[in-house]
Amino acid sequence: MPADPHSRRPAVGEGPLTRLALIGLAILFLAAFLALPLVAVFSQALAKGVGAFLKSLTDPDALSAIRLTLTVAAIAVPLNLVFGVAASWAIAKFNFRGKSLLLALIDLPFSVSPVISGLVYVLLFGLHGSFGPWLRDHGVQIIFAVPGVVMATVFVTFPFVARELIPLMQEQGVEDEEAAIVLGASGWQTFRLVTLPNIRWGLLYGVLLCNARAMGEFGAVSVVSGHIRGKTNTMPLHVEILYNEYNFVAAFAVASLLALLALVTLAAKAALEWRFADQIAAAKR
């Protein structure tokens, strides 16, 4: 077994047996909870052969679900990106009263059940919601339509970019920006030429996580979407519908696409962490 960081310190560290047992236990636990579900998704998807797998993916409803998922992410992610940059600029670069309250409020969506994240919009814009009748009279539909799906997704993915950027920008301090301004740069030039390059990898990291959640969100979207096939079904919802119809191959086929997305996200995340660790985490430079 290659050297571990403690091997040069003979006084500490466990005996080889304990070590082996712990590693074995960890691997067994992770295999049961992480590897097995992944294997299950792909094996079930291909249970009836590649033909059935591809047929489920090219089904018009599946295609429409894929399209909607991409559309929703394409709207929600940029919105939360802009918000994340604005919030972290205000919070990390300035000192103002009530900063920790603002920070706590930004984290709020993390501690709200996805179902409630959808429910709050139903109560506002649904047919029996506070603005429901008014919206109906003006011919606008939000709940059981795409706008509702977008809103619920925005709510759920709200903190992701800000959460990555705030500690990073706090750790970088304001010296670089001050230097740029003393050298004569305008506010916009300072942001574009100095701040943005400093946070670009952290930003990408946040966008990656935000996007994974936006494409995969189920609970919140499920409440507002109305599950209208070909119209308001995203991929995770389509998985549920197919599964509940006992169409397991199709359900797992669509699920395997989402699992693939998760794997790609993890790979990109690991690559970013490995290559730009110092520019992502608010850690030692």
Partner 1 sequence: MAIEIRNVEKTFGAFTALGGVSLDVRSGELLALLGPSGSGKTTLLRIIAGLDHADAGEVSFDGQDTRDRAARDRKVGFVFQHYALFRHMTVFDNVAFGLRVKKKAERPAEMDIRRRVDQLLTMVQLSHLATRYPSQLSGGQRQRVALARALAIEPKVLLLDEPFGALDAKVRKDLRKWLRHLHDDMHITSIFVTHDQEEALELADRVVVMNHGQIIQVGTPAEVYDHPADSFVFDFLGGVNRLNGVIEAGVARLDGKAVRVDGAVGADGPAVIYVRPHQVELGVAPAEGVPEGKWSARVSSLHAAGPVARLELDLAGRALEAQLSRDRLSDLALEVGSWCTVDFRHARVFPAKS
Partner 2 sequence: MTAAASTTATKPARRGWAFLAPTILPGFGTAFGFTLAYLCLIVLIPLGHMALRAADVGWDRFWAITLAPRVLHAFYISFGCALAAALINAVFGLVVAWVLVRYRFPGRRLIDAMVDLPFALPTSVAGIALTAIYAPNGWIGALAKAAGFKIAFTPLGIVIALVFVGMPFIVRTVEPVLQDLDAEVEEAAASLGATRWQTFTKVLLPAILPALITGVALAFARGVGEYGSVIFIAGNIPAVSEIVPLLIVARLEQYDYAGATVIATAMMGVSFLMLLGINFLQRWTRSRHAR
Count of residues in contact with partner 1, rule CB under 8 A: 16
The least CB distance from residue 194 to partner 1, in Å, is 6
258 touches, from partner 1, partner 2, none (C-beta below 5 to 8 Å by class): partner 2
Query: Counting contacts by CB under 8 A, is residue 283 touching partner 1?
Result: no
- In the block, residue with structure tokens 């574009």: 192
The least CB distance from residue 186 to partner 1, in Å, is 7
Half-sphere exposure of 250 (CA within 13 A, CB side): 22
Nearest to 124 by CA among 142, 140, 103: 142
194 touches, from partner 2, partner 1, none (C-beta below 5 to 8 Å by class): partner 1
Query: Counting contacts by CB under 8 A, is residue 178 touching partner 1?
Result: yes
Query: Counting contacts by CB under 8 A, is residue 168 touching partner 1?
Result: no
Burial of 215 per CB tally in 10 Å (0-12, 13-18, 19+): buried
189 touches, from partner 1, partner 2, none (C-beta below 5 to 8 Å by class): partner 1
- 102, two tokens: 């603002």
Q: How far apart are CA 47 and CA 50, in angstroms?
A: 8
Query: Which CA distances in Å does 25 have to 30, 31, 37, 118, 276?
Result: 9, 10, 18, 39, 31
Span from 113-121, 162-170, 171-179, 257-265 in contact with partner 1 (CB under 8 A): 171-179
The least CB distance from residue 58 to partner 2, in Å, is 19
Query: Counting contacts by CB under 8 A, is residue 97 touching partner 1?
Result: no
The least CB distance from residue 68 to partner 2, in Å, is 14
Rounded to the nearest angstrom, the gap between the alpha carbon of residue 42 and the centroid of all alpha carbons in its chain is 22
Neighbours of 261 (CB within 10 A): 16
185 touches, from partner 2, partner 1, none (C-beta below 5 to 8 Å by class): partner 1
64 touches, from partner 1, partner 2, none (C-beta below 5 to 8 Å by class): none
The least CB distance from residue 187 to partner 2, in Å, is 3
Rg (CA), the chain: 23
The least CB distance from residue 89 to partner 1, in Å, is 18
The least CB distance from residue 61 to partner 2, in Å, is 16
179 touches, from partner 2, partner 1, none (C-beta below 5 to 8 Å by class): partner 1
Query: Which CA distances in Å does 157 have to 111, 145, 234?
Result: 12, 19, 16
Say which residues have a Cβ less than 8 Å from residue 56's Cβ, sequence separation at least 6: 62, 242, 247, 249, 250, 253, 254
Q: Which is nearer to partner 1, 193 or 260 (CB)?
A: 193
Which residues would be at the binding site for partner 1 (CB under 8 A)?
175-176, 178-186, 189, 193-194, 197-198
